[in-house]
Each structure stands twice: as C-alpha cells, then as structure tokens.
Structure 1
Amino acid sequence: MTLLLSMAAFALVSSITPGPVNLVALGSGARHGLRATLAHITGATAGFTLLLVLIGMGLYEVLIRWPLLTTGIRLAGVLYLLYLAWRLATDNGRLQAHGTSPRPTLLGGAAMQWLNPKAWLASLAGMGAFAADGDSGTVSRFALIYFVVCFVSIACWAVAGTYLQRHLDKAAGVRLFNRVMAVLLTLCAAGLLVE
C-alpha cells in the first residue's frame, strides 16, 4: 500500500504543477469552457500514459544508452514551448464569433505530451524510481494510478480557466491573459533548459 501511495504522490506532484499542458488547459478552459477542453485533457492524459508505459517497458534503457536523444527531445520541446508562447504573445485578443477559434484536440493534447520535456522527465524519473526493473505488473499499476491523477490534475487547470471567463469578455483582457500565459510558457521553457 505504501508503494501505491508513493506512486500517487509522485503522480500528483508532477501532474498538478505548472507546465505547458496545464497552461494550455487553463487557457482553453478560459476561452472555450470545460466541456470543449475535455478533448485536450483526455488526449494529454492518454498521451502521457502511453509515454510512461513505453518508457517502463524499455524505452528507458534506450534513452540511458543514447543521452543525446534525450537532449534532442528536450530541445525540441523547448522550441515548441517557445513557439506556443510567441503565438500567445502576438494574438490580437479578439474572440471569434460563436466560438469558432480553434480548440485543443484529443490528438493535439497527446502530441503535446510527447513534445513536453516535463512529461519525458517525469516519465523517466517515475519509472526509474518505481519500476526500473520493467516488471509489467508494476508498470501497469503505476500507469493506471498516473492516468487517474493526471486526468484530474489537468482538469483542475481547465476548471480554473472557466472561472476566468468572466474577466475575458473584452479583447484587452484576452490579450493580457495571453501575454501572461506566454511569459509562463517561456519560464517553463527556460526552466527545462537548466534541468
């Protein structure tokens, strides 16, 4: 039981803390509401869980043998975060009529996790701590715990975003919100470069 609680605590700390996927969920919740953001939440959770399982079943060894691959993944993720930050910083803040602005998708949420250096680091650290031997039962239990905790954590960010909606009814408010999100994404990217 202690091992399961430790797994859950690790999953919570790494899932609920600010990161690019959570910031996108916050922004999508603010712009589109919780229901429309569920696709992003589900995709991000499934994408992360798949990454976690693959690392637990052997990808961990590949990355240990080829550390340059880990560096490449991290740099690609940082560049992606900076691209997202730039898009937010340059957005004009005008909400599209009838909610026609693009919403995060299931596939986009999953892909975002694969480009998210925080997800790679959490997967490597988690599997190294709890399932380094690659035992399929341990990997499965950890992945199931992580799936539930990750889904709830990302959903919390989206719910927080829905509470911001009433403050974002004018373009100036949206621009300010987007620029704050851009700064936070840039800080996430900078933090991942120094880890």
Structure 2
Amino acid sequence: MDHEYVVRAVRGEEWPQVRELRLAALRDPAAPVAFLETYERAAAEPDAFWRERAASASRGESVRQFVAEGPGGVWVGSVTVLVEEAGADDVFGGAVEVRQAHLVGVYVRPEHRGVGATDALFEAAVAWAWSLAGLERVRLFVHEGNPRAQAFYRRFGFAPSGVVVPVPGDPFAREYEWVLTRG
C-alpha cells in the first residue's frame, strides 16, 4: 500500500535536517554505489557548509532540493536537481551540450522504499525541471552495480543514453547516464 508523502523544496533554515538526511544516506549500505561522497567527508563539514547548501537549494536558481515528508513531518527522502547550462562542464568534467536538469543525491530511507516516496520525489523534481525555460532533458547517472535504482529509473521513463563514464576514484567501475526527454 502506498503512503502519502508531502514533497516540497527545502527551506534555508532546515540545514540541520539537510545534514542529518545526507549523513543517513551516506551510512546506507548502498552508499558506495549511490554517492560519490563519503560519510567521513560529509560529517567533517562545518555548519556553515550545511547552511549554505540548504540556502542555495532553497533559492532554486541553479539547484533545488526536494524532500519527502512522511507522517509527523519526518524527512524520509530527498532528491536534488542541478541545472546545467550548455557550454559548461558537468560533474564528470565533460561538456554540457544542452540546457538540462541533472538529478543527484537520490535517497529514500529503507523503510520507505517501494511504497511511493521515490515516485513522489521524482514527480516533483521532474515537474520543477520541466517548468524551467529552455530545458531539453533531465538526466542522472547510475552505478553499474545498482540494479534496483536502474529498474526504478526505467519504470519512471528514463532510458540509457549510451554515455558511460568511469566512477571518480575507481577506474574499474562505471556509471551510466540515463535521460528523460519531453513527450
């Protein structure tokens, strides 16, 4: 049975919750194939880092973070949308060829997986992305060793683009770009 979730953009003053959810994500057993950041690195960041991260994501200029709230307002998951402009470099150092949204930091607490939280987050993130003028596609990268995420992305309408990149710090592992286009 699906649960009801309230999905909304984070607010700048919610940096402690942003920090807590990110650290929970980085402690998850799937973290090594889901995130490029380590728990140790994130936990060592000062409060000022988290304040700026939440403030930037709340403004929604080139980044917007969405959270799913479950019963009692508990944050059960998050996704961040980065707006990448044509001519810029992406997170892997490649050139961005079109104006696009890049979904990153996808995380849902284990007890809320498979019951609608991820769908609700993606619906909000993709709707916001499509509301941006001139946006041509939404993309994300998924680790070759993360079949559960790949199955969700396929069900949601994303498809592999054919772009394959090495995982930073692990030249033997690969990530695949998946894209969603209008229509």
Q: Which protein is richer in strand relative to its size?
A: 2
Which structure has more relative contact order (CA 8 Å, sep 6+)? It is 1
TM-score after normalising by structure 1: 0.24
Q: TM-score, normalised by structure 2?
A: 0.25
Larger helix percent: 1
